Amino acid sequence: MHQYIGGELRTGSSPVGHRVVNPADGGTVAEVVLGDERDAALAVAAAKAAFPAWSRATPAERSTKLHEAARILGERAQEFAETESRQTGKPIRLTTGFDVPGAVDNTAFFAGAARHLEGKASAEYSADHTSAIRREPIGVVASIAPWNYPLQMAAWKILPAIAAGNTIVLKPAEITPLTALLFAQACTDAGIPDGVVNVVTGHGPVAGEALMAHPDVRMVSFTGSTPVGKRIMEIASRTVKRVHLELGGKAPFVVFDDADLEAAIHGAVAGSLINTGQDCTAATRAYVHRSRFDEFVAGVADLYAKVKLGDPFDPATDLGPLVSHRQRDSVAGFVERARGYGAKVVVGGEAPGGELAAGAYYLPTLVTDVAQDSEIVQDEVFGPVLTALPFDTDDEALALANDTPYGLAASAWTRDHFRALRAAREIAAGCVWINDHIPIISEMPHGGYKASGFGKDMSSYSFEEYTQVKHTMHDITGVARKAWHRTIFEL
């Protein structure tokens, strides 16, 4: 499996082969011939050719095919889960319990959404005209996805686009291309016409930039890091494409003095370690009221030490490796540098040895005694690392929560209704959880504030973003010399 273009699996044009590696043991999962600008051009041409018929299919036709796709995904759940676990190192419990059911539910959601496009009522907003709103698909969409949730990111990008009548070319991350290719095949098997869903695997600066720059692409939708997002915006601006950006995150986790501490400790452990911390909404910065700080740190450290790292295919494994050795080394680098500027590593802070030494594993790591403006508090680490800092007042806690360039997600832990409402209002993030951290749901939007980007994934909000609004205005007087002409000429 290399490229999926016009309903066919094909090889890539690039001379560069790519070994998809299982980060749990360094073994080869697949060899992929990557695509380059030639494959990007072919895929855009296939998507462009498929657009007229797909955009004119009725909502019911699109919906029926998406329901069928959801059924097929459900039937192939085990294959998707195992492939995802192999290419990312995710524990099989996570792929079978979260990644795959999430993608199936998303498909079913957008099958429903396809029949629910809405707009303002047609009416005579001027006495002489009937106005109507059309919500139309945009055309060929090019999407670029990251490696942390390859299947779910493919689903989040492809589904709202095609449900709304667009056609799409998706470029998954080069290190995790396999489940996006399987997803595109499932779409074809569900009867979605050839060319509606295409997948080009390749390097970002090569295949990715070729897609972003292509003149026949009308919208770009990107999920990934903030620096690459800026680059995408720059390229897209040259041809004035619509841009949708889901970027990095650095979620705060605010524990007030009245919080249920057992809930907060368990929430912090699950919220920081999900997907081995490679989650853009993962809890990364705990701010805990000084009166509960020591208890919180001891509780998290205790559970971190008990988390079971291991073979992703062992159902008893809690935590898998990072996605690659490179990512593991990057995470270790943040912790080493933090030690260098005086941070205290309460637990973790190293790669495990023994049977896990060959994999890209890193122990759950809790860091205290760091300054708010230090690198480990401000930048995305994207690994199983949580920092904890104390605060004294609610004002201080909320200011600290907002004090990074990011604004994707956050949580506040309190039993006080008014405190919860204040946190929900004042934390500048696209999602604020109260007394929980992480759950997402197809009906609700996911997306950022500030340097975390703009545009929403999932929900009817994302569906609408893949449409453009047209106003059609019809004269209903039949009069040649219209009253308003006299403001221009008197004849």
CB nearer to ligand NAD: give 310 or 455.
Answer: 455
Shortest distance, position 448 Cβ to ligand NAD, whole Å: 6
* Cβ neighbours of residue 113 closer than 8 Å, sequence gap 6 or more: 160, 163, 460, 463
The answer to whether 384 contacts ligand NAD (rule: CB under 6 A) is no
Q: How many beta carbons lie within 10 A of that of residue 291, not counting itself?
A: 11
CB nearer to ligand NAD: give 381 or 397.
Answer: 381
CB nearer to ligand NAD: give 171 or 328.
Answer: 171
The answer to whether 178 contacts ligand NAD (rule: CB under 6 A) is no
In this structure, are residues 323 and 148 in contact, taking their beta carbons and an 8 Å threshold? yes
Quick one: which of 287, 304, 296 has its CA closest to 251? 287
Shortest distance, position 104 Cβ to ligand NAD, whole Å: 19
Shortest distance, position 450 Cβ to ligand NAD, whole Å: 12
Among 139, 195, 248, 455, the residue binding ligand NAD under the rule CB under 6 A is 248
The span from the first CA to the last CA of the chain, in angstroms, equals 70
Q: Across the beta sheet with 283-289, what order do the strands follow? A: 344-347, 365-368, 385-391, 283-289, 251-255, 409-413, 431-434
Shortest distance, position 347 Cβ to ligand NAD, whole Å: 24
Binding residues for ligand NAD, rule CB under 6 A, total 30
Which part of the chain contacts ligand NAD (CB under 6 A), choosing from 99-107, 217-225, 360-368, 474-482? 217-225
In this structure, are residues 84 and 99 in contact, taking their beta carbons and an 8 Å threshold? yes
- Concerning whether 246 is annotated as a catalytic residue, the answer is yes
**Which of 174, 246, 380, 465 is an active site residue?**
246
Interhelix angle 59-75/77-88, rounded to 10 degrees, is 70
Strand 140-144 to 167-171 pairing? parallel
Distances (CA, A) of 480 to 132, 473, 487, 490: 22, 16, 15, 14
Shortest distance, position 323 Cβ to ligand NAD, whole Å: 8
The answer to whether 459 contacts ligand NAD (rule: CB under 6 A) is no
Three-state DSSP state, 128: coil
CB nearer to ligand NAD: give 274 or 401.
Answer: 274
- What x/- string results for residues 24 through 63 when contact with ligand NAD is judged by CB under 6 A? ----------------------------------------
The answer to whether 177 contacts ligand NAD (rule: CB under 6 A) is no
Which part of the chain contacts ligand NAD (CB under 6 A), choosing from 121-129, 178-186, 227-235, 256-264? 227-235
The answer to whether 2 contacts ligand NAD (rule: CB under 6 A) is no
CB nearer to ligand NAD: give 32 or 264.
Answer: 32
* Helix, strand, coil % over all residues of the chain, rounded to 5: 40, 20, 35
Assigned token pair, 221 = 């939708």
**Which of 37, 280, 431, 465 is an active site residue?**
280
The answer to whether 223 contacts ligand NAD (rule: CB under 6 A) is yes
Q: How far is CA 315 from the centre of its chain?
A: 26
What ranges make up the beta strands (E) of 317-375? 344-347, 365-368
Shortest distance, position 222 Cβ to ligand NAD, whole Å: 7
Residue type, 273: L
The residue with its CB nearest to ligand NAD is 204
- Concerning whether 187 is annotated as a catalytic residue, the answer is no
Quick one: which of 78, 77, 95, 122 has its CA closest to 24? 95
Which part of the chain contacts ligand NAD (CB under 6 A), choosing from 76-84, 243-251, 298-306, 391-399? 243-251
Assigned token pair, 288 = 């805990």
Q: How far apart are CA 401 and CA 87, in angstroms?
A: 34
- What x/- string results for residues 395 through 414 when contact with ligand NAD is judged by CB under 6 A? -------------x------
For the segment 92-151, give every residue that binds ligand NAD (CB under 6 A): 144-148
Residue with tokens 């290399």: 2
Q: How far apart are CA 402 and CA 125, in angstroms?
A: 43
Quick one: which of 249, 253, 251 has its CA closest to 280? 249
Among 249, 310, 348, 384, the residue binding ligand NAD under the rule CB under 6 A is 249
Q: How far apart are CA 372 and CA 39, in angstroms?
A: 45
What ranges make up the beta strands (E) of 76-186? 123-126, 129-137, 140-144, 167-171
Shortest distance, position 81 Cβ to ligand NAD, whole Å: 19
Q: How many beta carbons lie within 10 A of that of residue 116, not counting itself?
A: 11
For the segment 269-288, give every residue that binds ligand NAD (CB under 6 A): 280
Which stretches of the chain bind ligand NAD, using CB under 6 A?
A: 144-148, 171, 173-174, 204-205, 208-209, 212, 223-225, 228, 231-232, 246-249, 280, 380, 382, 408, 446, 448, 452
Query: Which residues form the catalytic set?
Result: 246, 280
